[in-house]
Chains A and B, each alone.
Chain A
């Protein structure tokens, strides 16, 4: 064929690139790269479920080491507390996805000075414990914190979470993608918490316990991170709420 109006271009990867191909590539490749970078900007804007929780650094707190329903630290509030509860309660874990270690638990039922990393997300705080040493009970506060106050039977709908990674560094720390992690935590002895949102989108946390007030961790692993309905007795311990119910009565909804 003579006098072809268009040259019959053919691309071979080891030969010089024909003009038409070159022109095409100079247009298409930058477009592709820009598209890719654009995606990198757009995706985080919609995929924006983050965690408002934070590691608060190492802290030292003095308080009463309570055993039930899960090990936690009861700390007298300083100053004039008015109508507020006289104590703050902090859930305790070990390092990683574990329960506090044996050399901390040996002080259960006593006053201790506790060292650990505080992890918190709104009103939910947990201390990843490192060490504890016994101290004398303070003169001012009651030597033993009060018993819980029953405040009624409620039916609550929410999600079972672990109290460590959820207020910690996971994104978003709840839902299906976090399920496996929460199962590891709860199975390892991190307290299981029930997250409930009311109609005003306020978030409330309830510590889970059975009717005898014991931890239920290994009994609810299968329901972690799913929408669940729990009917049980809510008991208030200072600023901590516990819902006591038979774990067999939890319902997936």
Chain B
């Protein structure tokens, strides 16, 4: 990982990031409730917090889903990406508050059978507000109140929110790298792709809920624009990736395949090609050429968009590092990626079509 043993886990930039994130969330919530009170004379503002927190979570979800594709289109967005995890967890807690107020803060007291203090920012979440104080347990009422599960327009939109909240919970609970290591990357990655399912469910939650009650066209348009933005951004990025891959595809039956020329690759950077169906990053540095798998062991970041810093391939996403010759992280770190044998003839570069096991040392090809 990091050569200098720098605090990758917690550092100054992460703190600045978090402060800006939480300040913006606070400004939004405070603004929403304040402007609401200004919307009319002497309005009773009970229950407005449910809207404020729900919409805050929904907007934050749009931002989270935009960062990935945006930073593929322009690396300047990468500083927003490295700490996306905190955005995700923040969004989960906003959604939880939308549903349950700040009851979770009262757990420590309730576990000991004590009476929890009343927090000044506390409010009744949607579950309590709409389902409690009646003749059924609120959690039962949530599922049996509106029973039109077979109808589209009448569909109990709350149910979509429940599934989405469950997915967001699983993701927030497993967001730490500890779980990434223990669940293994593919399972973790698949779980975190659930965010797209959650997004779809939440669009349904809003369209069949709030937009059925308040049919103001601007609201519908806002949700629609958000959806077109998210889907469009992913389609554009996906298409560009596809085009790049098509250009970089080298089909071959030989042991080595020609992948381009030395002057195509800037110093300390890489060119990404596809060899035998796998993305390979070919780095040029200090008069040498090395080829490694393009996939970062951390969260599958695109190593070929990284750079050689202090002698190590550095991932653009979270800064994990690998030695270009061996694909191994400098000790004491233990991440390893597959390497590929390389040859240089004149200014032409050739790469082996079969990867070496992760961490195998390969002599770099010298640029003559």
Chain A residues close to B by CB (< 8 Å): 1, 8, 10-15, 17, 20-21, 24-25, 28-29, 32-33, 36-37, 39-41, 43-51, 53-55, 95-98, 169-172, 174-181, 183-185, 187-189, 222, 226
Contact = CB atoms under 8 A, between A and B. Distances in A.
B20 A97 contact: no
B79 A171 contact: no
Nearest to B48: A171
A241 B187 CA distance: 62
A46 B55 CA distance: 13
A171 B8 CA distance: 46
Interface of B: 2, 6-8, 11, 13-14, 20, 23-24, 27-32, 35-36, 38-40, 43-44, 46-48, 51, 55, 59, 63, 75-76, 78-79, 82-83, 129-136, 141-142, 145-147, 154, 156-158, 208-210, 212-214, 216, 218-219, 266-269, 306-307, 309, 314, 316, 318-319
A45 B35 CA distance: 8
Contacts of B210: 47, 177
A103 B134 CA distance: 18
Given A40-B30, A171-B48, A177-B210, 4 more contacts: A8-B266, A180-B130, A181-B129, A181-B131
B145 A10 contact: no
Contact of A177 (B76, B83, B213): B213
A170 B210 CA distance: 14
B59 to A, nearest CB: 6
A17 B142 CA distance: 48
A176 B83 contact: no
Nearest to B41: A52
13 contacts: A8-B268, A10-B316, A39-B59, A41-B35, A43-B55, A53-B44, A97-B133, A97-B135, A171-B51, A176-B157, A180-B131, A184-B130, A184-B134
Contacts of A17: 13, 79
Contacts of A21: 76, 78-79
A8 B75 CA distance: 12
Nearest to B267: A1
Given A14-B2, A177-B212, A24 B76 contact: yes
B146 A179 contact: yes
A189 B147 CA distance: 19
Given A37-B31, A44-B35, A13 B142 contact: no
A12 B314 contact: yes
A47 B8 contact: no
A184 B266 contact: no
Contacts of B40: 48, 50
Contact of B28 (A13, A39, A55, A184): A39
Contact of B39 (A14, A44, A169, A226): A44
A177 B35 contact: no
B133 A47 contact: no
B28 A40 contact: yes
Of the candidates A14, A50, A185, the one having the most CB atoms from chain B within 10 angstroms of its own CB is: A14
Nearest to A53: B44
A51 B51 CA distance: 14
B13 A1 contact: no
A12 B111 CA distance: 43
B209 A176 contact: yes
A36 B285 CA distance: 43
